[in-house]
Amino acid sequence: MGSSVDIGEAGFKSSLNLMRNTIISMDLADPNSESAKEFKELVWQIMVDAGKPNLADYFPVLKRVDPLGVRQRMTGYFGRMFDVFNRIINDRLQDREISGFVRKSDMLDALLDLSEDKGGHGSVSHEASDLFTGGSETTSSTLEWPMAELLRNPDKLLKAQAELKQVTGRGNAVEKSDIARLPYLKAMVKETFRMHPWLPLLVPCRVGATVHVGGCTILEGTRNPGQ
């Protein structure tokens, strides 16, 4: 008998590590990296608190009171995350000043190049945090729910396994070129999106400047219903 596996946590760590390598060229699996360990824990805590019910979401009058302490904790999490990002950004900027430094050609380098054209690096940490927090939980949830549904419906699991064996062979990894030949797998993922949308509510946001959309004027400071 094997041990149980938390699919959601495993998917979260895998997607987060992939994004970390792509964006800032740092491996979250490195046991010697305190920054990697701290960052992984922060993103996980943000996702856990973001997914919890919050009375202030249902009763806006409670937002100032923050009865469950969600806003206070989230403010602390993001503050610590920005500190981590700022350390990484400062280290990268110092490295770029060294003669002979080989660029990593990751997304952080691209963001720093763009920010230099605009005259500063102040927004880089915010842009990076949006990428991480928005791209990690969505991927892990998309992985977790179909696995749960397949375990509840073993006949569907057998069909998916049979299709994979026919297209890729036993024990072979699925390549991007194989997706077009996996209609049952694609249908399964789409049905998962329908049954378990990973973001059913509007993401809180505020209009930064007055805009005109479809003949309507949306004033600066307007908040969506999710906030």
The model's confidence at residue 29, banded by pLDDT at 50, 70 and 90, is low
Q: Is residue 191 part of a domain?
A: no
Q: Is residue 112 part of a domain?
A: yes
Q: Is residue 214 part of a domain?
A: no
Number of structural domains the chain divides into: 1
Q: Is residue 58 part of a domain?
A: yes
Over residues 102-129, the mean pLDDT reads: 78
Tell me which amino acid residue 207 is.
V
Q: Is residue 164 part of a domain?
A: no
Asked if pLDDT for residue 42 goes beyond 60, the answer is: yes
**Which residues constitute the domain of residue 73?**
1-152
Q: How far is CA 195 from CA 53, 113, 136, 188, 198, in A?
A: 20, 41, 20, 11, 9
- Whether pTM exceeds 0.75: no
Asked if pLDDT for residue 200 goes beyond 60, the answer is: no
Q: Is residue 159 part of a domain?
A: no
Beta bridge partners of 212: 217
Q: Is residue 142 part of a domain?
A: yes
pLDDT tens digits along 132-190: 777 777 777 788 888 889 989 999 999 999 999 999 888 888 888 999 999 999 999 89
Q: Is residue 96 part of a domain?
A: yes
Distance CA 130, CA 19 (A): 12
